[in-house]
A = this chain, B = another copy of it.
Amino acid sequence: MTTTSVGIVGLGLIGGSLGLSLRAQGREVIGIAQREETCQLALARGVVDVASTQLSRLASAAVIFICTPIPAIAPTVKQLVPHLAPTTILTDVASVKQPILTAIAPLWDNFVGGHPMAGTAAQGITAAQADLFVGAPYVLTPEPQTPAASVAQVAALIESLGARLAYCSAADHDRAVAWISHLPLFASATLIAACEAEPEATVLALARQFASSGFRDTSRVGGGNPALGEAIARANREELLRVLYRYRQTLDGAIAQIEAADWAGLEQWLTATARARPDYLQTNPDSP
């Protein structure tokens, strides 16, 4: 274990959890938050060794995790780089990669794109937990020109979190997460919005009253942070549209089977979805 100090910009759920986990391994963590209040909270909860609202405090960090919301990543890097030595490695945690790489390329060479596939329903530093990344996929999307030694250093940090390290291209990443993260968000939000469009007040009231665990689970990601949903759609627009078109086409197929009263076909289709689902639950099985 080295004692290299690690910087974290943005002390929310992901940044806070990174701090807790890295400090538990004895690393020095320097955290930057926009608000002094968050700095105090981070110190009180043991998320960081040093907290500041000033990016200049990161001059001594060897690796810096940018954990801000997506729209703030490039502006943050722009403000940060005048304070850094050329050897400093930057990495991010955004759920889209191609637009981030494109935006950072002219600003800093020594950048390794990353995306931890971990989260909870709760948000913010108060939801941070040291074991958030244990067993979860954590993807790195190095480019051909990314320094191999920098990739190796970020990879070592990520493996130290207990995460399942994976590599792929930024394009493949953005296409894959469009399917399993961004499409679920919009399919789920559409469910809530469609229900709200029920014209009969009696039926709408009964629907709200009768909604059970099936509705709760299917609507969860569609009822999350609106700014995050907007940022994802904006950043991964092309891939999101691609999967939404396919989703609409698949929906049309199911509707056509029900219209045609093709019950054997419908049961066959549902059998295929039931059989396919476990392939997507390797790291997140259903609770017992």
Residues of A within 8 A of B (CB): 117-119, 121-122, 136-137, 139, 166, 168, 172-173, 175-177, 179-181, 183-198, 200, 202-203, 206-227, 229-230, 233-234, 237, 240-241, 243-255, 258-259, 261, 263, 266-267, 269-274, 276-288
A230 touches B270 (CB 8 A): yes
B250 touches A216 (CB 8 A): no
A251 touches B218 (CB 8 A): no
Per DSSP, chain A at the interface is helix
A180 neighbours in B (Cβ, 8 Å): 195, 207-208, 210-212, 214-215
A243 to B197, CA, bound (A): 10
A-B pairs with beta carbons under 8 Å apart, 22 shown: A121-B286, A139-B210, A175-B200, A176-B203, A176-B210, A180-B207, A180-B208, A187-B190, A193-B253, A196-B276, A197-B246, A208-B279, A208-B280, A215-B280, A216-B284, A217-B218, A218-B221, A222-B277, A226-B273, A229-B267, A230-B266, A245-B255
A277 neighbours in B (Cβ, 8 Å): 192, 219, 222-223
Q: Which 8 A-B pairs have the closest CB atoms?
A: A223-B277, A226-B270, A176-B206, A211-B280, A184-B218, A230-B267, A192-B273, A180-B211
A253 to B222, CA, bound (A): 15
Chain B residue with minimal CB distance to A234? B263
Q: A195-B280, A223-B273, A244-B251 are in contact. List 5 more A-B contacts (CB 8 A).
A: A173-B206, A179-B207, A183-B195, A211-B283, A226-B274
A288 neighbours in B (Cβ, 8 Å): 122
Number of copies: 2
Among B195, B207, B209, B218, contact of A218 (Cβ-Cβ < 8 Å) = B218
Among B213, B258, B274, contact of A119 (Cβ-Cβ < 8 Å) = B213
